């Protein structure tokens, strides 16, 4: 997942804390001076909460002054004096923004959350002041209208089009009354998205399954028991504590023999934001959907999905829905068969009940072991986190010639964070890479890639290199064992590192077109293609050794992974499709929905549900991807990108999985280009043709 960045121009703003006199002193505020750090990285060791508000005020004033100068320029509007000048008008504000909002996900607290709640509406207002400025838009439109005669290169054309659409798709063509309505709606949306995220984090952090009897540990792997014991100690408790952090939740659902406890923790996870308490997101979901519809209607679109998809490879809902339905039709027969198989093994193991959602992981794991002799715990010793990291680094070196040098000279925002200087094959500096692996109280769950600075070429001609971060939630080392990854976690790190490569290898002129600044249904290609190397023995032999014996991962174990890759492929595919369906449903409404959230959700997802619904649980109130994370009307993109990555990886399979010529083509045509051209043109330049769905269906075992 690429985490949503919040630069000034997309509607989220910053804020002001009152009475922050210390931070207002320019000499004391690190945001208001040139960073004296290695590669001008954020000086996290000096940044304090009280610095944000006054720095944002100064940065907004700088941006406002730069915009006023563009408007006041009496010369004829040109690409340089209008479009490029606007591109560089908000550099400091974006730098502060990137630090503030990224830390709110990775290292937040109640003070930082309060700051952001206060700053979000202010930033939204500021962004709207720019986007709705008639005099500024006239200048941008004047350049856009004569674009055919300007002799611009491909990237300049894309910047001009993106700049113009940035205004027109954000209300610049509206009348004065509609503009005020747009301002109010976007302001409220900014506040609600932040509140949604805060509520999910609060619900996640508030749940602890406190186990005090050894009988309650039945079936749990020793690694999970040790981790639960460590959490209990940290919280000053005896016994063991299981949290909703996925490194604990996932294994517990797979291995716990205590059905009552599986049900308890499942209901806790499934009811986040849906308990009718102060953290309930139900009303927020309905309101966000309604406000997004209002934005679409104001701008002349029938639904929010139409508005979003205009700027995606899919282009319109009438392409997304058939795509999802085609995948669902291919997945459904396999799903039905798989559910029957899991139910059968449950009965063989003595279950006298039909499968419920808290049974699925447990009995699916039993079936996986029976069919493939797949033992997740036996695999983990071969996936020591340090070894996996070095292996992925080595893969990047083999493919692209880049190297990674650990450094302690870059300030970090938490002691868990590691930093690396990334160097190109010619020895030139490429990027700083931050790695933040472990869960903690102030960190959102899941995994993502983000940036503290995008790559661009400044106005002096210097190529400013990016600052890229990969954030995950892997199990921390214990006193007796290092951090050992499940195969899924190893796959996750490959995925996020693919996003990181997209950021680190960026080579654009303009930051707004750099790296992962691409269509949402294209951004997952660089990440998902990396997952293809996960089961290649030639790659695994580079790093996958038993952390105690040094033995390479056995071929038969790798074959087991390969054989089991399409295990429950129908169910897995249908589950992902269901997420895309509910996302499209919320953003395809043509009238505000006034009923109960759960009724809407159940009716939409009925055709993709294969297990009984669980009263008191709902997906939407904790679906941060679409209500707080930038994937609204875009969750289908994970499946869309699977089509791209399956098709693209076939080139590596044909030419060799480490073939440097193929890798260089992928770098030149995909990774380095960012959003400088239409993604289909970039893809065809690499692949030689448009992708088809066949490669995905064949790889997944879903092709009939």
User: Catalytic amino acids?
Assistant: 496
Q: What is the DSSP string of 68-127?
A: HHHHH--SPP-IIIIIIHHHTTTHHHHHHHHHHHHHHHHS--HHHHHHHHHHHHHHHHHH
Q: Could you tell me which of 563, 544, 569 has the C-alpha nearest to residue 378?
A: 544
The alpha carbon dihedral of 689, 695, 697, 703 has a sign of: positive
The alpha carbon dihedral of 382, 385, 390, 394 has a sign of: positive
CB 52 within 8 A of CB 15: yes
Ramachandran region, residue 129 (left: φ > 0; alpha: ψ -120 to 50; beta: rest): alpha
In the structure, how many helices (H) and strands (E) does the chain have?
28, 9
| Residue 12 to residue 18: CA distance in whole angstroms | 20
Q: What is the DSSP string of 296-336?
A: HHHTT-SSHHHHHHTTSTT-SHHHHHHHHHHHHHHHHHHHH
403: exposed, middle or buried (Cβ count in 10 Å: 0-12, 13-18, 19+): middle
Beta-strand relationship, 209-211 and 240-242:
antiparallel
**What residues contact 160, with CB distance under 8 A and at least 6 apart?**
79, 83, 143, 144, 147, 150, 152
Q: CA dihedral defined by 594, 598, 603, 607, rounded to 10 degrees?
A: 150
Beta-strand relationship, 429-436 and 467-471:
parallel
| Residue 391 to residue 411: CA distance in whole angstroms | 25
Give the angle 441-443-449 at the CA atoms, nearest 5°: 160
| Residue 349 to residue 96: CA distance in whole angstroms | 56
CB 443 within 8 A of CB 431: no
Residue linked to tokens 């995948």: 327
Helix/strand/coil (H/E/C) assignment for every residue in 228-240: HHHHHHHCCCCCE
CB 433 within 8 A of CB 470: yes
């Amino acid at each position: 997942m690429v985490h949503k960045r919040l630069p000034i121009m997309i509607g989220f703003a910053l804020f002001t804390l009152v009475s922050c006199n210390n931070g207002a002193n320019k000499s004391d505020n690190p945001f208001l001076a040139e960073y004296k750090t290695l590669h001008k990285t954020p000086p996290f060791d000096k940044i304090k909460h009280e610095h944000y508000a006054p720095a944002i005020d100064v940065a907004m004033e700088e941006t406002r002054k730069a915009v006023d100068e563009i408007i006041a320029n009496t010369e004829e509007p040109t690409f340089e004096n209008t479009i490029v000048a606007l591109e560089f008008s908000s550099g400091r504000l974006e730098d502060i923004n990137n630090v503030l909002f990224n830390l709110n996900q990775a290292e937040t607290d109640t003070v930082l959350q309060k700051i952001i709640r206060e700053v979000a509406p202010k930033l939204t207002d500021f962004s709207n002041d720019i986007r709705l400025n008639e005099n500024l838009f006239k200048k941008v439109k004047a350049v856009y209208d004569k674009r055919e005669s300007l002799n611009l290169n491909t990237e300049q054309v894309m910047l001009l089009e993106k700049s113009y659409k940035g205004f027109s798709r954000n209300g610049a063509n509206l009348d004065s009354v509609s503009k005020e309505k747009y301002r109010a709606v976007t302001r409220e949306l900014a506040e609600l998205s932040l509140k949604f995220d805060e509520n999910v984090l609060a619900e996640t952090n508030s749940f602890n399954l406190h186990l005090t009897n050894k009988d309650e540990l039945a079936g749990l792997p020793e690694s999970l028991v040790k981790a639960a014991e460590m959490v209990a100690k940290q919280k000053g408790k005896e016994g063991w504590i299981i949290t909703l952090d996925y490194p604990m939740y996932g294994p517990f659902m797979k291995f716990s023999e205590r059905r009552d406890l599986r049900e308890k923790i499942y209901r806790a996870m499934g009811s986040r934001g849906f308990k009718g308490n102060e953290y309930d997101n139900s009303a927020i979901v309905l309101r966000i959907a309604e406000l997004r519809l209002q934005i679409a209607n104001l701008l002349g679109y029938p639904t929010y999905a139409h508005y979003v998809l205009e700027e995606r490879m899919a282009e319109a809902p009438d392409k997304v829905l058939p795509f999802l339905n085609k995948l669902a039709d291919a997945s459904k027969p396999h799903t039905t068969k798989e559910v029957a198989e899991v139910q059968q093994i449950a009965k063989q193991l003595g279950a006298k009940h039909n499968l419920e959602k808290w049974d699925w992981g447990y009995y699916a794991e039993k079936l996986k072991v029976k069919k493939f002799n797949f033992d997740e715990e036996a695999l983990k010793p071969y996936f020591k986190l340090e070894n996996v990291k070095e292996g992925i680094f080595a893969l990047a070196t083999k493919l692209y010639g880049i190297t990674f040098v650990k450094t302690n000279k870059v300030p970090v925002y938490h002691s868990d964070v590691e930093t690396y200087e990334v160097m190109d094959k010619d020895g030139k500096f490429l990027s700083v890479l931050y790695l933040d692996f472990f869960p903690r109280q102030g960190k959102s769950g899941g995994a993502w890639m983000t940036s503290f600075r995008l790559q661009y070429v400044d106005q002096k001609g210097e190529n400013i290199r990016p600052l890229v971060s990969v954030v995950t939630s892997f199990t921390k080392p214990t006193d007796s064992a290092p951090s050992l990854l499940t195969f899924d976690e190893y796959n996750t790190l490959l995925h996020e590192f693919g996003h990181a490569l997209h950021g680190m290898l960026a080579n654009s002129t303009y930051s707004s077109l750099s790296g992962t600044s691409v269509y949402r249904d294209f951004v997952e290609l660089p990440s998902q293609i990396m997952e293809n190397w996960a089961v290649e023995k030639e790659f695994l032999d580079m790093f996958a050794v038993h952390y105690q014996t040094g033995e390479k991962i056995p071929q038969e174990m790798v074959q087991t992974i390969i054989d089991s890759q399409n295990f429950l492929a129908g169910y897995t595919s249908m589950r992902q499709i269901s997420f895309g369906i509910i996302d499209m449903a919320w953003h395809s409404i043509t009238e505000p929905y006034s009923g109960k959230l759960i009724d809407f959700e159940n009716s939409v997802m009925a055709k993709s549900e294969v297990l009984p619904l669980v009263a008191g649980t709902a997906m939407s109130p904790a679906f941060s991807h679409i209500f707080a994370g930038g994937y609204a009307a875009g969750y289908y993109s994970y499946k869309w990108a699977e089509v791209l990555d399956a098709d693209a990886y076939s080139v590596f399979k044909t030419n060799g999985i480490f073939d440097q010529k193929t890798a260089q083509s992928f770098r030149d045509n995909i990774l380095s280009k960012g959003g400088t051209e239409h993604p289909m043109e970039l893809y065809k330049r690499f692949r030689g043709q448009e992708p088809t769905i066949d490669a995905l269906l064949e790889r997944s075992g879903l092709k009939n």
